[in-house]
A and B are shown apart, each in its own frame.
Chain A
Amino acid sequence: MEVERRHNVRISGQPGGQPMLFAHGFGCDQHMWRHVAPHFERTHRVVLFDLMGAGGSDLAAYDPARYSGLDGYADDLLEICDELGLTDVVLVAHSVSAMTAVLAAARRPGCFAHLVLVSPSPRYIDDGDYRGGFNESDIAELLDSLDSNYLGWSAAMAPVIAGPASPEVAAELTDSFCRADPEIARRFARVTFLSDSRPDLGRVTTPTLVLQCRHDAIAPVGVGEYVAAAIPGSRYVLLDTTGHCPHLSDPAATVAAIDAYLSGAPVG
């Protein structure tokens, strides 16, 4: 129960179904999956959770040493699987969590049936011939953007979120969406944007689907292709959408691509 509480785990769908675990990325929380996860409740046991430091996770359990690299986040993924007794898991992971998923699957291949990596990037910073899309000073500016905003969001500003799009969403969202403890967010940004997971990609033996957005400024097409090429036997689907979050910008196409992949139909 401890791990469930710590990560604000939410379970829905078919109790006896194949587990489908959704890991959100840098920035927000498990609500990011709300246009995608419900679709799989008819067929799967759907498990949502918040990354440590995000959303409704237990900030008191944040240990800077444990979370100084993606390994600590991979430990969390495996602990969630262990505590809930999940095996044969379909792990759907966005952005930085896609690399956490790679680490977890490389370490414990027996736990996972499929990986679905949404907008993955193993390395955001350019390196020789590799084009991650950013240089070191860009990342320094991001950390600065975080600082600027968290300053504005401190104490007095924190609960101010203007009227949500619909009452239905309002009821579902909490004030914590896209908000995090500034210090934790800063550390997480560092881990996310300074990690280099390229060497880990080749260790994945789990069947994998890579979902790439056509216009993604954070993880450009070349990066998605790199990931797909580096993971042996992986499938690659290019979604005709803009941004870094296809589960928000085109949930229907995202669901369709995952469905087709899981049902063994030709994808892309």
Chain B
Amino acid sequence: MTQPSVGDEAARLAFEDALRANDPVDLFDRAPCGYVTTLPDGLIVAVNQTFLTWTGHARGDLVGVRRFPELLNPGGRIYYDTHIAPMLAMQGSVREIAVEVVRADQGRIPVLVNAVMETDAAGRPALVRAALFGATERRSYERELLRATEAARAAEARAVALARTLQGTLIPPVPPEVPGLDVGAAYRPSGDGDEVGGDFYDVFQVAHDDWAVVIGDVAGKGVEAAVVTALARYTLRGAAVRSTAASEALAALNGFLVSEHVERFCTAVFLRMRRRGGGWGVSLACGGHLLPLLRRHGRAAVPVGAPGSLLGVLTEPDLVDVELQLAPGDCLLLVTDGVTEARGGAGFFGEDRLARAFDRRAGLGAAALAADLVAEVVDFQAGRARDDIAVVVLAVPTP
């Protein structure tokens, strides 16, 4: 036996004492883990003293009498027969299986089990050797982790539900019926649809045959952008009642955004529409938003309106009213930049592609046109929208 490289006599004697104390029986009985040896069917053949001390069982009550799974809690018993025994039979071993051992006094000890199946000379299962490691601390830590994971999952689910609810309040899902006007709208949130975007639209009545239509985009995403978006809609609704010009409504929104120090800016197009005979008189103002496209009956689409200032930046914005007459067969298209800035293999979707897409769909009703256009833009991005997309179509029916 190798001698220790220790200088003094006392250390050498201590080492030899330790060697003597470490005979195999002591090693088995006093190991810092529980040892259980069983037949392949689980009947206990041997246990060490550590296991008896932990569990409070008497050796005579176990050896040759009990099956090891009978010492587990009910869940562990089922787990033994459905997982551990099959794995031992098929693979010859299991590692780090978490079960609870029931003590003689009915208390529970969480343990991790490693076990191997020994085979006889003919390769038949002969006995199972299991080592059990106390895992009380580890188990409570794991439970905490599990609870934290569950809490995080629940919080995420609540956030998604909140986002969807908010989104629902911002976008009227179906625009109202407007006598003498075919109105269509479509909205598609970005990504998986669980983040609130800043795009919004609104169609509402101010007086008899007097309507307002708005489409806009508040910078940013998330709940804060959503709150500003909601306030923007109600500011415009209030302003529409007090004023007759489209630019005044946008100026009111600008004033709100500047004065409230919201630190969010916004683009929007506002239309005030009054029915005249078979057509509509339109007052249109634009605050930094994409200009609407007007497709006269039988003609190609062209942008209309004057660009105007971004809203929420200047105290004196440049906002211009442009007057239009819409005749039967004429159609207006309003979109957000989720359409034109959509990116696909062929670059940006762009304003030219939008105008052509609009022209190609001259035969469609407003709702079908809006839905169809959103579908084309989503396809263009290979099915996954990077930004939210809003489209509003206003078509004057031909008699």
How close is B356's CB to chain A, nearest CB, in angstroms?
Answer: 39
The answer to whether A248 and B85 touch (CB under 8 A), given A138-B75, A142-B74, A148-B142, is: yes
Task: Kindly identify which residue among B86, B97, B100, B119 contacts A245, using a CB–CB cutoff of 8 Å.
Answer: B86
- Tally of A-B Cβ pairs under 8 angstroms: 138
Residues of B within 8 A of A165 (CB): 90-93, 117, 119
**Once the chains bind, are A148 and B98 in contact (CB under 8 Å)?**
yes
- Is the CB–CB distance between A173 and B69 below 8 Å? no
Which of B94, B119, B146 interacts with A147 by CB under 8 Å?
A: B146
A178 and B87 contact, Cβ closer than 8 Å, known pairs A142-B74, A241-B41: yes
Interface residues on A, range: 35 or more
Residues in B neighbouring A160, C-beta threshold 8 A: 95-96
Q: Choose among B40, B67, B76, B98 the residue with the greatest number of A CB atoms under 10 Å from its CB.
A: B98
Q: Which residues of A contact B12 (CB under 8 A)?
A: none
Q: Who on chain A is nearest to B70 by CB?
A: A217
Contact residue among B67, B82, B90 (Cβ-Cβ distance under 8 Å from A173)? B90
- Nearest CB to that of A138 among chain B residues? B74
State which of B75, B82, B123 has its C-beta within 8 Å of the C-beta of A27.
Answer: B82
Cβ of B42 within 8 Å of any chain A Cβ, yes or no, is yes
Q: State how many residues of chain B have any CB contact under 8 Å with chain A.
A: 43
Q: Which of B75, B95, B123 contacts A161 (CB 8 A)?
A: B95
Cα separation A152 to B83 with both chains bound (whole Å): 15
Q: A145-B76, A152-B98, A245-B85 are in contact. Are A163 and B41 (CB under 8 A)?
A: no
Query: From A119, which residue of chain B is reached at the shortest CB distance?
Result: B81
Q: In the complex, which residues 1-60 of chain B have their Cβ closer than 8 Å to any Cβ of chain A?
A: 40-43
**Cβ-closest 9 pairs across A and B:** A165-B92, A141-B75, A27-B82, A138-B74, A142-B75, A242-B41, A148-B98, A145-B75, A244-B81
19 examples of A-B residue contacts, CB within 8 angstroms? A134-B78, A137-B74, A139-B75, A140-B75, A141-B74, A141-B75, A145-B79, A148-B110, A149-B97, A161-B95, A162-B91, A165-B119, A178-B86, A178-B87, A217-B69, A217-B70, A245-B81, A248-B90, A249-B89
Interface positions of A (Cβ within 8 A of B) = 25-28, 31-32, 34, 95, 134, 137-149, 151-153, 157, 160-166, 169, 173, 177-178, 193, 215-218, 241-245, 248-249
